[in-house]
């Protein structure tokens, strides 16, 4: 991330702060706060570039030289969206942008290239890079084109996820719902995308192996580790989706994970277990508590010594109400559930107790009640 942002579950709306939460779900960045007045949304920013485009069930915009790829992605996403609509009895307008890095950067406020991204609340736009090859941590023996094909299904899933009120109790579940949708489609029509994606990562042992790590610091785990967790999410989705009809599964998920209801990782897996008995054991270390070390807050410094670089820590607010904090001098409210914090290393994050967390070089987490 290039900006210092508080990542907040986009299902939590903090009207008191006048924060407009943008779902920028993707393979994937998450919701980012933005103060009013709102700048142009993602669709407006895309249209303002005056790129070549092709109308269709999915409108497609593309950078110079990417027409063939854009038309291919357009057909793929249109087929997937049509199937979702048929299965789930909802219809969405979908816009696709297939961009090179130059145009990606001109759009602004997107995840770092080539991290694909969907914007359900900003015009239902999916931004796809021209290649996934520069994403760190990829197994070069896998077909990264096929992996990007699966990610396109995942991004389309994010758009429908929002329309289905499947926002999830945490960041891992937001990603899981999108992957669940993609997996349902791929199992039916493109099973080779699943096997390719599952084989796409390196075998390197990762530092962060619990889905709760993803909830707490999200992309603070690092791109390579983040990709590993996303692919593990695909593995979990196959276990849960196989043999189920998507519409029935969505109804069960909507009942098990009602919008706006924060849950711990243990509660999430308790509910998933009811939907697919045995899934917790198959998830293994992913279902275990966070591997992050706990943070002990200290005295606040009047003149903190900040350093270059962005520090990460996670908060789990286990209460049922917002908790007021001051983040590097800026008042904020932590909603119930998980919040991933990012800030300049060394800057101060003041808690209601009057103690402070100093943004660390090595991520940790704190549990608040």
User: What residue ranges bind Zn ion (CB under 5 A)?
Assistant: 25-28, 175, 178
Q: What DSSP string describes 71-112?
A: HHHHHHHHHHHHHHHHHHT----EEEEEE-HHHHHHH-S-PS
The residue number whose beta carbon is nearest to Zn ion equals 28
Residue 215 beta carbon to Zn ion: minimum distance, rounded to whole angstroms = 14
How many Å apart are CA 208 and CA 284, to the nearest integer?
13
CA distances from 320 to 145, 213, 261 (A): 43, 21, 9
Residue 309 beta carbon to Zn ion: minimum distance, rounded to whole angstroms = 25
Residue 27 beta carbon to Zn ion: minimum distance, rounded to whole angstroms = 5
Residue 25 beta carbon to Zn ion: minimum distance, rounded to whole angstroms = 5
- Which residue, 59 or 161, is less far from Zn ion as judged by CB? 161
- Closest by CA to 135, choosing from 114, 150, 156, is 114
- Which residue, 28 or 238, is less far from Zn ion as judged by CB? 28
Are residues 25 and 46 in contact, defined by beta-carbon separation less than 8 angstroms? no
Residue 236 beta carbon to Zn ion: minimum distance, rounded to whole angstroms = 14
187 phi/psi in degrees, rounded to 5: -60, -35
- Which residue, 149 or 327, is less far from Zn ion as judged by CB? 149
Helix (H, G, I), strand (E, B) or coil at 223: helix
Eight-state DSSP code of residue 287:
G
- Which residue, 25 or 156, is less far from Zn ion as judged by CB? 25
Are residues 137 and 228 in contact, defined by beta-carbon separation less than 8 angstroms? yes
- Which residue, 226 or 349, is less far from Zn ion as judged by CB? 226
Residue 156 beta carbon to Zn ion: minimum distance, rounded to whole angstroms = 11
Are residues 34 and 8 in contact, defined by beta-carbon separation less than 8 angstroms? no
**Three-state SS annotation for 14-64:** CHHHCEEEECCEECCECCEEEECCCCCCHHHHHHCCCCEEECCCEEEEECC
Contacts of 323 (CB under 8 A, 6+ apart): 317, 333, 334, 351, 352, 368
How many Å apart are CA 22 and CA 42, to the nearest integer?
10
With residue 197 as reference, give the H or E element that holds it. helix 191-198
- Which residue, 53 or 109, is less far from Zn ion as judged by CB? 109
- Which residue, 158 or 350, is less far from Zn ion as judged by CB? 158
Residue 241 beta carbon to Zn ion: minimum distance, rounded to whole angstroms = 16
176 phi/psi in degrees, rounded to 5: -60, -45
- Which residue, 51 or 148, is less far from Zn ion as judged by CB? 148
- Which residue, 250 or 323, is less far from Zn ion as judged by CB? 250
How many Cβ atoms are within 10 Å of 50's Cβ, its own excluded? 8
Sign of CA dihedral 177, 178, 184, 187: negative
- Which residue, 97 or 178, is less far from Zn ion as judged by CB? 178
């Amino acid at each position: 991330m290039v900006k210092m942002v508080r990542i907040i579950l986009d299902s939590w709306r903090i009207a008191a702060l006048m924060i407009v939460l943008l779902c920028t779900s993707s393979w994937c960045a998450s919701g980012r706060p933005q103060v009013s007045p709102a700048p142009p949304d993602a669709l407006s920013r895309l249209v303002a570039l005056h790129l070549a485009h092709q109308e269709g069930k999915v409108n497609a915009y593309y950078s110079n030289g990417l027409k063939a790829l854009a038309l291919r992605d357009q057909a793929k996403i249109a087929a997937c969206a049509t199937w979702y609509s048929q299965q789930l009895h909802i219809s969405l307008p979908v816009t696709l942008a297939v961009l090179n890095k130059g145009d990606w950067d001109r759009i602004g406020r997107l995840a770092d290239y080539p991290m694909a991204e969907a914007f359900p609340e900003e015009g239902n736009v999916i931004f796809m890079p021209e290649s996934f090859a520069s994403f760190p941590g990829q197994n070069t023996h896998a077909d990264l084109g096929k992996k990007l094909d699966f990610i396109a299904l995942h991004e389309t899933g994010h758009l429908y996820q929002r329309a289905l009120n499947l926002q999830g109790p945490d960041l891992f579940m937001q990603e899981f719902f999108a992957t669940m949708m993609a997996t349902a489609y791929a199992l039916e029509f493109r099973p080779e995308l699943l096997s390719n994606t599952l084989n796409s990562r390196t075998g390197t042992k990762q530092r962060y192996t619990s889905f709760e790590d993803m909830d707490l610091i999200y992309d603070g785990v690092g791109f390579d580790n983040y990709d590993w967790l996303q692919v593990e999410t695909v593995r979990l989705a196959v276990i849960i989706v196989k043999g189920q009809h998507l519409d029935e599964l969505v109804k069960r998920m909507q009942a098990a994970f009602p919008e706006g209801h924060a849950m711990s990782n243990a509660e999430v897996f308790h509910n998933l277990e009811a939907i697919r008995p045995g899934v917790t054991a198959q998830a293994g270390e992913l279902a275990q508590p966070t591997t992050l070390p706990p943070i002990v807050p200290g005295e606040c410094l009047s003149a903190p010594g900040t350093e270059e670089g962005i520090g990460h820590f996670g908060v789990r607010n286990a209460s049922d109400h917002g908790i007021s904090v001051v983040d590097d001098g800026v008042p904020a409210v932590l909603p119930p559930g998980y919040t991933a914090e990012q800030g300049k290393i060394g800057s101060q994050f003041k808690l209601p107790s009057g103690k402070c967390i100093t943004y660390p070089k090595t991520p940790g987490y704190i549990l608040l009640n």
